[in-house]
Amino acid sequence: MVSRFAARVYVLTSEVPRGKVTTYGAIAARMGKPGASRAVGAALRANPTPIVVPCHRVVKQDGELGGYGGPTGTGRKAALLRKEGVAVRGGRVDLSEYLFTWR
């Protein structure tokens, strides 16, 4: 059973389209909890349905990839993003080009 907080994180993460990324902080802010970026990361770390809930599309505030579960970690996250058309250079995404924001 996932918490209501985690369920909301998964819904918002699922709204990020292919070819775009968002940040842990942006999800927290969208939830009305601007100081909860670490809690967003914890919820995504426990994501029971990776890919379905595309947690690979969530990066740090500075564009750094951040963590990703599985045996290959951030290498897999970078590969998934590249497959979706997001350029990853030096372990970072250019947020000026790829950042998704809610309107």
Q: Active-site residue 55, yes or no?
A: yes
Instruction: Given the residues 39, 55, 81, 93, select the one marked as catalytic.
Output: 55
Q: Which residues contact 59 (CB under 8 A, 6 or more apart)?
A: 21, 22, 23, 24, 65, 66, 92, 93, 95
Is residue 60 a contact partner of residue 26, using CB atoms and an 8 Å limit?
Answer: no
Q: Which residues are catalytic?
A: 55
